[in-house]
Amino acid sequence: MKFFADSADIDAIKELNDVGMIDGVTTNPSIIKKSGRDILEVTKEICDIVDGPVSAEVTAIDADTMIAEGRKLAKIADNIAVKVPLTWDGLKACKTLTDEGTMVNVTLCFSANQALLAAKAGATFISPFIGRLDDINLDGLELIEDIRTIYDNYGFETQILAASIRSVNHMKDCALVGADVATAPTSVIQAMAKHVLTDKGLDAFLADIKAAGIKIL
């Protein structure tokens, strides 16, 4: 499974990229707002750090303007994936940009039928938001499973990019049901390394290293 960092925090992206933990980055207007940076500048900087797809979201809601914005975003770097919302206009923009050879990430997906339409429009990625479904007592993971089944039934190549991930358990669950990619806050990806027994075991080893005066360098 590929991991994308759901972030525009340059230091955090570099940290994960240097350890080979991320295969791409996703941003959205809220993430760009949080960064306090210009969207074109910060996106370019991220594209220079990460080799894989970097999603940058359009701001328009009509297809023609989304397409114009998408063309401008696509010029930032070869690894840009233009993010469009899962609306009828977003699907139109997806089809046009995909036909032009641009990667498209269709975002704000909350149903299997929406994911089916995105695949038919040629999306490179579909982004089902599992955390936001869980927030309203629906089952985000079930949506990932349904999309996996539908895409496999018909051989759609659109990649399932599990989004709105809130916890390390979401990461494990997405891996178990076959999401192609999970995009998560950098803190969640780093938290996957944590285990209380690892900490406890390390403390015991450190005590023995000190007691025995074990030295390597």
Active-site residues, by number, are: 83
Residue 163 binds ligand E4P (CB under 6 A) = yes
Residue 26 binds ligand E4P (CB under 6 A) = yes
CA atoms in the 13 A half-sphere facing the CB of 117: 19
Q: Which of 132, 134, 150, 178 binds ligand E4P (CB under 6 A)?
A: 132
User: Residues 6 or more apart from 172 whose CB is under 8 A from it?
Assistant: none
| Strands 2-6 and 54-57, bridge-based pairing | unpaired
Interacting stretch for ligand E4P, rule CB under 6 A, among 39-47, 92-100, 125-133, 204-212?
A: 125-133
Q: Which of 15, 92, 131, 178 binds ligand E4P (CB under 6 A)?
A: 131
Buried b (16+ CB within 10 A) or exposed e, 31-65: bbeebeeebeebbeebbeebebbbbbbbebeebee
Q: Which of 17, 98, 102, 127 binds ligand E4P (CB under 6 A)?
A: 127
Give the CA radius of gyration of the chain: 19
Minimum CB separation from ligand E4P for residue 82, in Å? 13
d(CA 179, CA 22): 15
Q: Which of 17, 96, 159, 164 binds ligand E4P (CB under 6 A)?
A: 164
Positions that interact with ligand E4P (CB under 6 A): 6, 26, 28, 107, 127, 129, 131-132, 163-164, 183
